[in-house]
């Protein structure tokens, strides 16, 4: 078996498999990227063929969706509205996961359709105006950004935009918007004084391109202008008329001051840093997250749901750390049936801690979340012989006890830390006895697979996404709504994009969700021949194992006649580094780079073990050949 060396100090010995050779060539046009060659025949595994089919099917389904629900301008064919029931954020959510699909290796048309929809969306909701809602009378968007609304909704509306940098970071309009959006929260725009640097807080739950709303919000601010409902629209919250819409938001008043969900705004600064590398964006993000870390420490490890304009905990909610809209004590009456709904969104804050961790790799940004989970679950009690756990806190103390422990974002927490202590979660009863309430590698099939306990998972997960896609398309084709009976969130339920299995299996990552988060992934792939993000056509990848310092991945070229090249990147944004590579049973050889390129001969593949140093580099949107 052949072994050649012509680059750096790298060597790879033959792995002992018939017809296997690893060759190291001189650096290619990818800059300092080392190039390897795999020439071991591998019959295409079922999972590899399913990956390719899922990418192809997603493209076809998204094209059909776009043709049905968007016009030539990129406008969504719907009745435009403002508000928390149905608003601008819902319109753009109809394209959730499209930029991610392209960045995984989907067709270029996916990116083109998303960009047309985004340009149309910005224009459509700049032209859309309210009559009764003061802040949006001159347009729901201003400077191509929501004028002033809460980050539960702002984050949803930015979900697709915040992922455009994965596949298209060099678009000049994208670059301008990234910097402008971040500037709204860094006092760079005098018309958007959202941030108080002295107290390190965002001044209201309502914030945006026209700045913070510094008064109590009304039901109209949340619900939007009057609208005909019955026999025309089907509202997501189930309201039958406009009065019920107002009643839904009747108690949504106390918005002044900072709220944990504002930490979702840190993704704007993170994107700006990853685009430019300018320290001011990193510094602002860490300054703001650090303020919340300190507030949690001062509040018995629980994140407060209101910070007054003077920087005090509970300062704009009568001194109650649990006060305010979407706070720990925010339980409201459902107008349709009189039931009580508990609407605590403080767990949205974890996005800010994830962003800080991506920048630093420092566990001090994860430890506060662990402490909060432990504090809350320690309040468990026995009811009718069963242990229950609280989710809310009010004047009467902890309440809303349910059988499920309080464990939001534990998958992401473990994924980031790779610590066994975050794999198994326990709670203590009144006698101090510790009980395991969740073990992630048992409850999460993907983690069970990564630990070698469910070898059939990849094929099963990919087939499930194909089935989901088929059902979405069937629902879309059966949808008989017309543009004048369709609200912005109506098409969203038919969005066929199905990427969950691809993110976990191909990238060894966690899906970013629908709150505007960036991608957290161990690996990414680029096509050095076509100079674009994603796996080249015919190439499939399967992450088999993950640990704090290793990733095992199978690479295979399913094309039996054409050679393919693929560049592997360490991390979603090159934040990690490859230390060494082992191919099959061959020896470990040094790499010490953020990326390297593999040439896969026709019909060939191999299992590759990657030793990695995580969070060694500042994250960047730049493609390998641009670094």
4-13, pLDDT tens digit by residue? 323 333 322 2
Q: What is the pLDDT of residues 392-419, one digit of tens each?
A: 999 999 999 999 999 999 999 999 999 9
Q: Are 217 and 82 in contact (CB under 8 A)?
A: no
pLDDT digits (tens, 9 = 90+) for 471-516: 999 999 999 999 999 999 999 999 999 999 999 999 999 999 999 9
Look up residue 267 and give its two tokens: 């993704």
CA distance 303 to 297: 8
**pLDDT on residue 52:** 98
437 — pLDDT class (breaks 50, 70, 90): confident
Q: What is the pLDDT of residues 127-145, one digit of tens each?
A: 999 999 999 999 999 999 9
pLDDT of residue 30 exceeding 80, the answer is no
**Is the pTM of the predicted complex or chain greater than 0.85?**
yes
Mean pLDDT of 271-289: 98
CA distance 349 to 262: 7
* Rounded-to-integer distance, Cα 507 and Cα 521, Å: 6
Helix, strand, or coil (residue 592): strand
DSSP assignment of 6-69: -STT------SSTT--EEEEPP-TTTT-EEEEE--B-PPPHHHHHHHHHHHHHHHHHHHHHHHH
Give me the chain's average pLDDT, please.
93
The HSE-up count of residue 418 (CA atoms within 13 Å, CB side) is 20
pLDDT of residue 406: 96
28 or 154: which leads in pLDDT: 154
What confidence tens digit (pLDDT) does each residue in 612-623 have?
Answer: 999 999 999 999
State pLDDT tens for residues 585-612: 778 889 999 999 999 999 999 999 999 9
Unique residue bearing structure tokens 């929260």:
185
CATH number of 3-49+456-507+523-626: 2.60.40.1180
Q: What is the pLDDT of residue 429?
A: 61
CA–CA distance, 32 with 26 (Å, rounded to integer) = 9
Residue 264 pLDDT more than 70?
A: yes
By the 10 Å C-beta count (0-12 exposed, 13-18 middle, 19+ buried), 463 is classed as middle
DSSP 8-state code for residue 424: E
Q: Which residues of the chain are in CATH 2.60.40.1180 domains? A: 3-49+456-507+523-626
- CA distance linking residue 173 with residue 118, whole number of Å: 11
Confidence of residue 288 (pLDDT cuts 50, 70, 90): very high
Backbone angles phi, psi at 600, to 5 degrees: -105, 115
Q: How far apart are CA 533 and CA 525, in angstroms?
A: 6
pLDDT of 54 above 80: yes
Distance CA 381, CA 523 (A): 42
């Amino acid at each position: 078996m052949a072994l050649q060396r012509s680059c750096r100090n790298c060597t790879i010995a033959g792995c002992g498999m018939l017809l296997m050779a690893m060759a190291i060539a001189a650096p290619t046009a990818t800059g300092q990227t080392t190039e390897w060659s795999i020439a071991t025949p591998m019959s295409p595994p079922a999972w590899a063929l399913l990956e390719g089919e899922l990418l192809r099917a997603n493209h076809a389904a998204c094209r059909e969706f776009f043709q049905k629900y968007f016009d030539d301008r990129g406008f969504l064919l719907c009745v435009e509205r403002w508000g928390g029931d149905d608003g601008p954020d819902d319109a753009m959510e109809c394209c959730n996961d499209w930029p991610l699909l392209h960045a995984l290796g989907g067709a270029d048309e996916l990116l083109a359709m998303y960009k047309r929809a985004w340009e149309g969306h910005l224009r459509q909701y700049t032209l859309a105006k309210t009559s009764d809602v003061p802040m949006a009378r001159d347009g729901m968007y201003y400077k191509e950004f929501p004028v002033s609304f809460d980050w539960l909704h702002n984050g949803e509306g930015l979900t697709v935009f915040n992922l455009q940098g994965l596949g298209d970071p060099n678009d000049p309009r994208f670059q301008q918007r990234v910097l402008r959006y971040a500037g709204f929260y860094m006092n760079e725009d005098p018309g958007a004084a959202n941030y108080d640097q002295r107290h390190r807080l965002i001044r209201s739950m309502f914030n945006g391109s026209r700045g913070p709303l510094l008064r109590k919000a009304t039901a109209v601010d949340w619900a939007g202008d009057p609208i005909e409902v019955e026999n025309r629209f089907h509202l997501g919250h189930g309201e039958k008329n406009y009065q019920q819409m107002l009643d839904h938001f009747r108690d949504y008043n106390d918005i002044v001051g900072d709220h944990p969900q504002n930490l979702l705004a840190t993704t704007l600064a993170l994107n700006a840093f990853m685009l430019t590398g300018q320290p001011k964006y990193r510094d602002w993000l860490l300054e703001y997250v650090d303020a919340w870390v300190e507030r949690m420490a001062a509040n018995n490890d629980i994140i407060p749901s209101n910070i007054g304009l003077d920087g005090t905990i509970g300062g704009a909610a009568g001194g109650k750390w649990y006060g305010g809209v979407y706070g720990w004590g925010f339980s409201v009456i459902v107008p349709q049936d009189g039931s009580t709904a508990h609407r605590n969104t403080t767990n949205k804050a974890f996005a800010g801690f994830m962003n800080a961790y991506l920048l630093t790799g420092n566990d001090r940004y994860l430890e506060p979340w662990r402490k909060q989970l432990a504090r809350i679950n320690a309040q468990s009690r026995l009811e009718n012989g069963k242990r229950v756990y609280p989710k809310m806190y009010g004047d009467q103390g902890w309440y809303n006890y349910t059988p499920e422990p309080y464990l939001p974002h534990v998958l992401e927490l473990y994924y980031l830390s790779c610590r066994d202590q975050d794999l198994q979660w326990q709670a203590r009863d009144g006698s101090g006895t510790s009980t395991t309430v969740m073990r992630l590698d048992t409850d999460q099939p993907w983690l069970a697979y990564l630990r070698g306990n469910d070898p059939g998972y990849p094929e099963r997960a990919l087939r499930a996404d194909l089935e989901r896609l088929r059902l979405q398309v069937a629902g879309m084709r059966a949808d008989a709504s017309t543009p004048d009976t369709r609200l912005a969130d109506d098409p969203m339920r038919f969005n066929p994009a199905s990427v969950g299995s691809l993110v976990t299996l191909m990238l060894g990552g966690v899906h970013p969700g629908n709150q505007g988060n960036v991608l957290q992934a161990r690996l990414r792939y680029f096509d050095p021949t076509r100079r674009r993000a994603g796996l080249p056509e015919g190439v499939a990848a399967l992450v088999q194992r993950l640990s704090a310092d290793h990733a095992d991945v199978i690479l295979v070229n399913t094309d039996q006649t054409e050679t393919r090249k693929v560049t592997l990147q360490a991390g979603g944004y090159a934040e990690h580094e490859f230390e060494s590579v082992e191919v099959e049973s061959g020896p470990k050889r040094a790499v010490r780079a953020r990326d390297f390129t593999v040439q896969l001969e026709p019909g060939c593949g191999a299992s590759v073990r990657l030793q990695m140093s995580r969070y060694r580099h500042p994250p960047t949107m730049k493609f390998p050949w641009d670094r």
